[in-house]
């Protein structure tokens, strides 16, 4: 309770007086992007953050950052358009129900962007979830997170055919269910090899993301589409975001 009160007071001071805990005087590189990986909102476990913490993070980003989905950031980056502020990409893994009552409404209300990574076996094929995903508007991209959210290294070693189903068929099936193209892929557990990355590219993914906790950089020719993400979790998710944003600006 005491810690929450301190955090609330901290943000009240910064937002009331127009200050920012992020040092925007530092420069950033036009080909760099900070990609955050979130999971659930108001759920349980270390990968869930509260609605209040999520609100604080979005308010922080609204001050000095441009917030995109992977798809819209990539399209702007490869077209050589200038980012006026440091670009940030928001991603949400696994497809928790909170993407509908927390993530999508709050992202759209701020005219932000986000990529939602869904693993298909979380829901039945006829689930209303897929009907909802088919109708979301704004800069909300739907990406694949495999069929079963299994460790892809293990599956590949055991049976390459099953690996093919996880990577390629998950994209095709998701495209069928939401009637939208799927071009982004998130490696479950951040588990991959260089050969597997090549195979995922062959499966039709334009963009792949890991969880290697580094700044992501697009090569000048637009060829680097295997991108790093920072996973945000408990405790202290707001402080993690602030630290990462400052780190990115100092790069």
In a 13 Å sphere around the CA of 57, the CA atoms on its Cβ side amount to 30
Looking at residue 47, the DSSP 8-state letter turns out to be T
Residue 119 sits at the vertex; the CA angle it makes with 96 and 167, to the nearest 5 degrees, is 160
| CA pair distance 168, 185, nearest whole angstrom | 10
**pLDDT value of residue 218:** 86
What pLDDT is attached to residue 12?
Answer: 41
What pLDDT shows up at residue 54?
98
Strand 216-217 and strand 32-38: pairing?
A: antiparallel
What is the reported pLDDT for 26?
Answer: 40
Confidence (pTM):
0.89
- pLDDT tens-digit series, residues 1-13: 545 544 444 444 4
Low-confidence ranges of the chain (pLDDT < 50): 2, 5-19, 25-27
Residue 225: what pLDDT?
86
3-state secondary structure of 208: strand
CA 251 – CA 154 distance, rounded (Å): 35
One of 3.20.20.370, 3.30.2040.10, 2.40.50.140, 3.30.420.40 is the CATH number of 2-250, namely 3.20.20.370
Per-residue confidence (pLDDT) for residue 248, from 0 to 100: 66
Phi-psi region of 190 (alpha: psi -120 to 50; beta: other; left: phi over 0): left
Residue 230 CB-density burial (10 A; 0-12 exposed, 13-18 middle, 19+ buried): buried
Hey, which residues does 227 pair with through a beta bridge? Answer: 209
């Amino acid at each position: 309770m005491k810690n929450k009160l301190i955090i609330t007071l901290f943000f009240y001071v910064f937002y009331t007086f127009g200050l920012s805990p992020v040092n925007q005087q530092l420069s950033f590189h036009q080909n760099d992007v900070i990609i955050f990986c979130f999971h659930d909102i108001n759920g349980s476990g270390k990968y869930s953050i509260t609605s209040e913490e999520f609100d604080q993070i979005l308010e922080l980003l609204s001050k000095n950052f441009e917030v995109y989905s992977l798809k819209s950031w990539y399209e702007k980056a490869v077209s050589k358009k200038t980012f006026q502020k440091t670009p940030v990409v928001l991603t949400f893994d696994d497809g928790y129900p909170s993407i509908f009552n927390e993530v999508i409404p709050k992202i759209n209300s701020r005219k932000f962007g986000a990529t939602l990574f869904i693993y298909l076996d979380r829901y039945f094929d006829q689930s209303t979830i897929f009907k909802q995903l088919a109708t979301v508007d704004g800069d909300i991209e739907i990406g694949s997170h495999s069929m079963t959210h299994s460790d892809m290294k293990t599956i590949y070693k055991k049976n390459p055919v099953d690996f093919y189903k996880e990577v390629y068929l998950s994209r095709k099936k998701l495209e069928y269910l939401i009637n939208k193209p799927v071009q982004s892929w998130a490696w479950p557990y951040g588990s991959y090899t260089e050969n597997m990355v090549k195979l995922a590219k062959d499966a039709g993914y334009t963009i792949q993301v890991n969880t290697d906790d580094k700044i992501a950089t697009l090569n000048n020719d637009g060829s680097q589409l295997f991108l790093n993400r920072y996973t945000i979790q408990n405790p202290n998710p707001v402080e993690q975001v602030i630290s990462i944003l400052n780190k990115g600006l100092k790069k």
